[in-house]
Amino acid sequence: MRGRLTGFLVSAALACDPAAAHHSFAMFDQDHPIEIEGVVHEFRFTAPHTFIILDVSQADGKTTAWALEGGAPTALVRDGWLPDSLRPGDEVKVRIAPLRSGAPGGWWTVHQIHFRDGTAILSRP
Amino acid sequence: MMWRSSIGSIAVAAALAVGDAQAFDESKYPDWTGQWVRVGSGSFDPGKPAGLKQGAPLTPEYQAVLEASVADIAAGGQGNNPMGRCLPPGMPRTMINYEGMEIVVLPNISYILLLEPMDQIRRVYTDGRSWPQRIIPSFLGYSIGQWVDADGDGRYDTLEIETRALKNPRSYDSSGMPFHSDGQTIVKERIRLDQANQNLLHNEITVIDHALTRPWTVTRDYRRERNAIWIETICAEDNRQVRIGKEDYFISADDRLMPSRKDQPPPDLGYFNQAQKEGRQ
């Protein structure tokens, strides 16, 4: 099953501490987050920050791979995440701060991602 | 036990090989074992908002560098932030302690093991040595420490450290607050446990730098995590934020360059055969 880009704006900014990271997050538009749905192609539990490569279906039926930057592995581990918390084929819904350029990239946090049916990521046995 | 580290088996073996290590009386030293996790924001002064609101006492010349950095960041760039391209944070920024650290106390040296961004090690010499005649500069610098019994109870409680011979480029944090280009920064630290909370470590950091109008002192705190999970952290593993020339780009899911801000020009491809790229050869 393919994901779909819901593309609606949400009012609340992503809870964040941009200065806490090794780089600035200014390239991500935190004032205009969007919610996207898609299928996990790859979950990269890597330094300096984790990445979800998410296949997202467009209105024209094509699929675009989004590069979604998350927290550092050390931070995710403290929140209970592991390298296999997301697996290829997982269908997820995630609120992101998109790249200001409009290119398919963004920034996500562990508090704003769920499986497509609304269940928590860490609820999986 | 001759040491204070949970990873001490290797370290103590090395220490035992050094004659006087066997005289190490651990009861004289504070218990700083465990993982120390950052408390507060990732700005250099955790008590103030980021960027210009940090109130860094910069000279006008270096205040202009900061203002240009903040403006570039506001436009989607990385500004004056060498760490954004995976260079080490250096001193004193490394003591923001982004992802956790461990402190190994030995009689003649203490090691500060830092995860972010590339599992670096600070060596703090406490053997009474003088400053060497010549020191090759490094991002972490050369550190000489002295144990102090500040409360007079017969046990050391404070480690005072002075760090010199620092290498550029560095910035205080991701906002791009700059150091003087002369590389003459001196950093002084006073590290001690909180008197009421043995799981809280304070680090009073004073920076002396020619880009400052006066010494700048901030205090950072670290929380003890006794059941630590250590994750290897190598920044170059998958850093998808890259700088080419003066522009910061983002690497896409299919490993191509993407713009990080609207209407961003592509990098100069002058050394590439454009005709070949366009399929004419």
A75 touches chain B (CB under 8 A): yes
Residue A82 counted as domain residue: yes
Its domain, for residue A29, covers 24-123
Confirm or reject contact between B248 and chain A (CB < 8 A).
Answer: yes
Q: What is the CATH number of the domain that holds A67?
A: 2.40.50.140
Predicted local confidence at residue B23, as pLDDT:
66
Q: Residue B51 carries which side chain, given as an amino acid letter?
A: G
Nearest CA in chain B to A41: B253
Is residue A68 in a domain?
yes
Tokens 């780089």 belong to A23
Residue A14 forms part of a structural domain: no
Residues of A in contact with B37 (CB under 8 A): 78
SS (H, E, C) chain B: CCCCCCCHHHHHHHHHCCHHHHHCCHHHCCCCCCEEEEECCCCCCCCCCCHHHHCCCECHHHHHHHHHHHHHHHCCCCCCCHHHHCCCCCCCHHHHCCCCEEEEECCCEEEEEECCCCCEEEEEECCCCCCCCCCCCECCCEEEEEEECCCCCCCCCEEEEEEECECCCCECCCCCCECCCCCCCEEEEEEEECCCCCCEEEEEEEEECCCECCCEEEEEEEEEECCCCCCCCCHHHCCCEEEECCEEEEECCCCCEEECCCCCCCCCCCCCCHHHHCCCC
Is the CB of B90 inside 8 Å of chain A's CB atoms? Answer: no
**Which residues, numbered 53 to 72 in chain B, qualify as contacts with chain A under a Cβ-Cβ cut-off of 8 Å?**
none
Q: How far is A120 from chain B (nearest CA, A)?
A: 23
Contact B33, B6 (CB under 8 A): yes
Within-domain flag for A1: no
**Predicted local distance difference test score (pLDDT) of residue B61:** 98
Per-residue pLDDT, B11: 44
Residues of B with Cβ-Cβ distance to A47 under 8 angstroms: 117, 232-235, 237-239
Say which of A46, A101, A103 has its CB closest to residue B238: A46
What is the predicted ipTM? 0.77
Q: Is residue A19 part of a domain?
A: no
Report the pLDDT value the prediction gives residue A11, as an integer from 0 to 100: 32
Residues of A in contact with B84 (CB under 8 A): 22-24
Q: Is A112 a domain residue?
A: yes
What does pLDDT average to in each consecutive run of 10 residues of chain A (125 residues)?
Answer: 39 43 81 96 94 95 95 91 97 96 94 96 92
In a domain, A7, yes or no: no
Domain boundaries, chain B: 8-225, 240-277
User: How many structural domains comprise chain A?
Assistant: 1
Contact residues on chain A for B100, CB-CB shorter than 8 A? 74
Say if A114 falls within a structural domain. yes
Per-residue pLDDT of chain B (281 residues; tens, 9 = 90+): 333 444 344 444 444 444 444 567 888 999 999 999 999 999 999 999 999 999 999 999 999 999 999 999 888 888 999 998 899 999 999 999 998 999 999 999 999 999 877 889 999 999 999 999 999 999 999 999 999 999 999 999 999 999 999 999 999 999 999 999 999 999 999 999 999 999 999 999 999 999 999 999 999 999 999 888 898 989 989 999 888 988 889 999 999 999 988 889 999 988 988 766 565 54
Confidence at residue A27, expressed as pLDDT on a 0 to 100 scale: 86
